[in-house]
Amino acid sequence: MKRLISAAVLLGAAAHATAQTGSQGDDTRLLREQLEQLKTQVQALEAQLVQLESAEQDAQPEEPEAALQQEATEAAEDGIRVGGAVRSNISHTSYNDGNRNRGGDWALDTLRLNFDGSISGIDLSAEIRHYDYMNVVKYAYLGYQFNERWRSEAGIVPVPFGNSPYNSHNFFFSPNYYIGLEDDHDLGVLFRRSRTDDWQLDLGFLKNDELGGVDGYVTDRSNRYSYDVVGMRAPQEGIYESPQMALGEYNTAVARYAYFLGRGDIQTEVGVSGLRGGLHDGLRRAGNYQAWAFHLNSDYQRWNFQFQHSEYRYDVDGFDRMAVGAYAFYDSIAAEASSSTINLAYSLPVDWGPISTLQFYNDYGRVYNKSDGSRDTEMNVTGVSVSAGGLFIYFDLVHARNQPFIGGSMSGDSNEIERRFNINIGYYF
């Protein structure tokens, strides 16, 4: 390029000299010869420049800026995002004299962190929760997408069972949650077929519960988010006591199948779920357990309808009652029972400042046919949830009997209906 510029300068100088000496014979002829030579040199240099530019194009991306932009985009997509929530809870109850006399209580509910993203095609999803009384990992698993239909997940994974992701609309879930059949998480591996047509399938093998099973080296097996069986209840044991005889789930196979029907404004998912696994007392196999469910989840315009019937059974010789644990709290459940839930919700879009959606709902659940002779568990929740940007609030009026966190136990023997008015305020980021 420098030689080309120098030649151009000489060419200009020669032309200028020619203009000044046009009538001086020999000098003019000499300058014309020099001008022709310079033209020849410029043409040769131009040819070399074309060859150099062609070689540079072969050695570099055609649009290096576009390539850099693509790399920046890929880097932005290939990473882990951090989110979470801060939640507080206001409650007024009929079953706690102190709470009622104070006009209710307001306390921190949850501080949580979520990690979601992908690095080099391997996905990560995890949630850590802090409560005043415990710190827990709700779930933490790695995922890999084999193709457009199939993916795998391994770690503390959600157990695919029943209406998904929840068989409820309210803050307290349904009674199924308190017997380990809703929003449960265990250590294992899943294979999921996504809904690319009219059906979906989840298959899984769960090695043990999220705390490592019956001898998972934890100080308190009730410090967990999900309800799991942690022991056998002798007849003389209290329903809230730490179990004298340990027990843990292991080697569980689980499957969930859903079929989707759609006609006009009606979209319906119909499915069946089942699981079966072993129970271990720390030394040997002590029995087995199983559960199955039929579930339906249907949307019609702004309405949502859910129905689920479930049955479970723990087979341990000589025991009709199991100990369960969660939220730093032990409870008891019948070794065998049935459960039915029916829920209805209506979503109303609004434009009230930051408020965008109101969802009104009524969720009803019942656990019955209990093998330990305890009375039925019933819970009815009437409420509304409010969406306002990052803010999400539940207003729930709960009426229940023999229901955990509503003044009772899953193995309770009360005939009294207890009441709880609850407001849960959460900011999600």
For 205-257, how does the pLDDT look when each residue is reduced to its tens digit (9 = 90+)? 999 999 999 998 899 999 999 999 999 999 999 999 999 999 999 999 999 99
Beta bridge partners of 63: none
**Same domain (yes/no): 111, 17:** no
**Same domain (yes/no): 380, 271:** yes
136 has a pLDDT exceeding 60: yes
**Same domain (yes/no): 56, 93:** no
Expressed as residue numbers, the domain containing 34 is: 2-60
**Same domain (yes/no): 51, 132:** no
Percent pLDDT > 90 in the chain is 80
3-state helix, strand, coil in the chain (%, to 5): 20, 50, 30
Q: Which CATH number is 124's domain given? A: 2.40.160.10
81 has a pLDDT exceeding 90: yes
Tell me what pLDDT residue 421 has.
98
**Same domain (yes/no): 40, 174:** no
- Crossing angle of helices 2-20 and 26-59, in 10° steps, is 160
Q: Which of 154, 140, 330, 323 is nearest to 249 (CA)?
A: 323
Which band of pLDDT confidence, cut at 50, 70 and 90, is reported for residue 38? low
Does 17 fall in a domain? yes
Does 72 fall in a domain? no
**Same domain (yes/no): 322, 359:** yes
Does 361 fall in a domain? yes
Burial class (CB in 10 A: 0-12, 13-18, 19+), 383: buried
**Same domain (yes/no): 297, 264:** yes
Does 70 fall in a domain? no
Q: Which residue has the higher pLDDT, 197 or 276?
A: 276
Tell me what pLDDT residue 378 has.
98
2 has a pLDDT exceeding 60: no
**Residue 349 CB neighbour total at 10 angstroms:** 10
Distance of CA 247 to the CA centre of its chain: 29
Beta bridge partners of 352: 355
Whether 366 contacts 140, CB under 8 Å: no
Question: Which spans in 273-358 are helix H?
Answer: none
Q: Which of 397, 418, 417, 392 is nearest to 109 (CA)?
A: 392
Which band of pLDDT confidence, cut at 50, 70 and 90, is reported for residue 103? very high
Does 116 fall in a domain? yes
Tell me what pLDDT residue 53 has.
44
Does 398 fall in a domain? yes
**Same domain (yes/no): 361, 398:** yes
**Same domain (yes/no): 270, 394:** yes
Q: How many domains does the chain have?
A: 2
**Residue 164 CB neighbour total at 10 angstroms:** 19
Mean pLDDT along residues 337-360: 98
**Same domain (yes/no): 251, 306:** yes
**Same domain (yes/no): 209, 125:** yes
Does 76 fall in a domain? no
Does 71 fall in a domain? no
**Same domain (yes/no): 33, 154:** no
